[in-house]
Structure 1
Amino acid sequence: MNDQPTPAEQLGHRSVAETSTAYALRDTDRQFLTFALDLAADRVASRSDEFTDDDTAALEKLRRIATEATPRPERGELWSLLDWTFWGSGMGDVFRMPLADTMLAAITPEQREQAEQLMEAWHASGRKPLGRRRYEELEAELKTARDELAEVKASSDPRLRCLLVKPHRDKDTYVGWSNVCEMPAGVWSRETALEYGFPASRLDRADKNGSSDLSCGDGHWDDPGFVAEQLGWLRRDRLADYAVEYLLGDRQAAYALLEPFEGETEVRRPGSA
């Protein structure tokens, strides 16, 4: 008897039984298997004298397997490398991603750990990342470069030099505010702001921080408000309503939203400041 391991065993290939266990049933496979097992259960019930308790137990085990959802293997660096390789071959998501899942499920945890250790050693050596991570890194670098270019172009456009403020976290509203003139410059949705010419990076900052400011936090979520034309104090939560009334030309309705400065009893009127 030859006790030497086969070439497949030397490579760490799994047995047929192990591979079958790791195989993830598709929905159509599961439906057909459930149907077949229901027929078998009916047969066992009608001719119970021909079947043993072991047969019944085996049937119940198969029915549990058919109804239990097979967990998808945890995705990580190795999965990313497989997915990237298939993507580079032109495979679409519908076929590529399940194929990567199946291949990952067909190896032992030890093999996966060894592969990921090799990949970690590769990264630690200072070499470039592998797989989708490298693609995502390059994509992020390209986005940063595009954002920086858009910011430079916008800085030379007088229409876009205002502070971009998002008054409410849950509303698609952005107000342009001129700190020089202390008045609103415009009101936009995200879509119309992009069409107007604002860089997406400014809108992203406003979504995250409350405004596009990069220096002192002017207009951020914790900023209480703004001085409006030296007439009064405009609370941040009133900014959107103020801007709409102001830009529609109803200055009296806009000024009615202001509060007096500290130490004063009423809002100043234009020409009185």
Structure 2
Amino acid sequence: MGSCVIKGAKDRDIYCVWSSIVEAPTFIGCRVDMLRHLGRGGEERIARADELGTSMVGWVTPGDSPVAHLTGSWDYGGLIVEQRGFLPRDRMADFLVAYSADPEEAYRLLEPFEDDDAGQQEDK
């Protein structure tokens, strides 16, 4: 995938460029900052993010939700962040605000991977 624009929440003016390579935002800002950052073609990407939650475009399998499989869409379950944990989609805006100030604080919003609990129990 590379990267896409994700809007933090429908009712908040916060966006990020999300990288599937580093599994994290590579740029965070409001709409104006994002337009400046993206340059040419940015308006179209942000318009898609406003509508769908993500700027990704994709295909639809008959019978599927048209956007549920698009990374960062409103119906998407969440994202893995830097192999540290799982970020539920409904925490994205708060995560972006926290991440821009202090990534370590933002990591507190992540859910541990299911196998993290198993590994801790085995160590006891």
TM bracket (short chain): 0.7 to 0.9
- Report the CA distance between 1:228 and its aligned residue: 0.7
Aligned twin of 2:4: 163
Q: In 1, are the aligned partners of 2:3 and 2:19 still within 8 Å (CA)?
A: yes
Q: Counting helix residues as a fraction of each chain, which structure ranks higher?
A: 1
What secondary structure, in the 3-state scheme, does the structure 2 residue paired with 1:234 have? strand
Does 1:257 find its partner at 2:106? no
Paired-residue identity, %: 38
Aligned twin of 1:177: 18
TM-score (normalizing by structure 1) = 0.36
For 2:46 and 2:114, how far apart are their aligned partners in 1?
33
Q: Counting strand residues as a fraction of each chain, which structure ranks higher?
A: 2
For 2:95 and 2:12, how far apart are their aligned partners in 1?
16
**What aligned pairs does 1:14-163 form with structure 2 within 5 A after superposition?**
162-163=3-4
Aligned twin of 1:229: 82
Aligned twin of 1:55: none
Q: Highest CA radius of gyration, 1 or 2?
A: 1
CA-atom RMSD in angstroms? 2.1
- Report the CA distance between 1:193 and its aligned residue: 1.3
For 1:229 and 1:176, how far apart are their aligned partners in 2?
15
Code of the aligned partner of 1:194: L
For 2:111 and 2:11, how far apart are their aligned partners in 1?
25
Q: Which runs of 5+ in 1 are unaligned?
A: 1-160, 267-273
The number of equivalent residue pairs is 106
Aligned twin of 1:208: 51
Kindly provide the CA deviation profile for residues 156-214 of structure 1, in whole angstroms up to 9, marking residues without a partner as x: xxxxx631111211122212211110011122221221122341100110111110011
For 2:21 and 2:109, how far apart are their aligned partners in 1?
20
TM-score (normalizing by structure 2) = 0.74
- Structure 1 residue ranges (4+ consecutive) displaced by more than 4 angstroms after TM superposition: none
What secondary structure, in the 3-state scheme, does the structure 2 residue paired with 1:222 have? coil
Larger RCO (CA under 8 A, 6+ residues apart): 2
